[in-house]
Each structure stands twice: as C-alpha cells, then as structure tokens.
Amino acid sequence: MPQTITRGFKLLLEEANARVETLTPQDAQRRIAEGALLVDVRDPRELEREGRIPGAFHCPRGMLEFWIDPESPYFKPPFGEDRAFIFLCAGGWRSALSAVTAQDMGLDPVAHVGGGFKAWKDAGGPVEA
C-alpha cells in the first residue's frame, strides 16, 4: 500500500512563507549592501549552468543543517557571524524552506528572495559566469 503524504511540499512552502520574510531582488540587494549575507542554496550544477551572484556564499541545500551547526564537523564560519542571512535558490521554494530551517536552528534575522535566481536575473541583478 502506498504511503499517504499528509503534509506535502505545498503546505510546507505556505507555512515557510508565512514565517519568514520574502524579499524582492531589489530589497535583497539593499540588505546585502547593508551587510546581510546572501546564501545561495542551489546545486553546484545549477551554478555552473546558470552562473553565480558575486559575493554570495554557496551552501548546497543538502548541507545546510550541517554547515549552520557549530557542533558539526562541517560547520562553516560565515554562519557564525552576527549578521542577517538571505537565502536564494532557483525559484524561491528551497530558499523559503532553507530560511525556516536556519531560523529554527537559531539564525536571526533570516529572509529569502521570492522567485529566486530567475527573479534576480530578470531584475538585472549582477551575475557572473
């Protein structure tokens, strides 16, 4: 008998978007200029294919919890800095879930870019190959 999913991704996204701030690319650029760290959670293949945002910290979504936790052998120092964190993915789904996870782990403040990398590019945000 197949599994019955009671909390699908749509509900998880709805809950995430209700809990964390969703930024436009322009708002994200302003916050980055004020010192926020942009965390790109896209897969490395996506970065190779689509390009990357200058100055963004790349953290593959699958490593997020391990890189955030100072008790983890995989901890990354940027997550220990006293600053705001803005998450970004390709379309705004993984970034919303990532922001909630980061918030649940104690990072504050957190937000994510609505529409993700596509919205960033469409708004004329800087991108490098």
Flag whether pLDDT at 101 surpasses 90.
Answer: yes
Between CA 129 and CA 52 the distance in angstroms is: 6
Can you name the CATH fold of 19-122? Oxidized Rhodanese; domain 1 (3.40.250)
Q: Which residues pair with 87 in a beta bridge?
A: 39, 112
The predicted-structure confidence for 77-95, as pLDDT tens digits, reads as follows 999 999 999 999 999 999 9
Residue 128 DSSP code: B
Contact assessment for residue 87 and residue 37, using Cβ atoms and an 8 Å cutoff: no
- Residue for token digits 């689509």? 50
The predicted-structure confidence for 43-75, as pLDDT tens digits, reads as follows 999 999 999 999 999 999 999 999 999 999 999
Between CA 68 and CA 76 the distance in angstroms is: 7
- The confidence score (pLDDT) of residue 119 equals 98
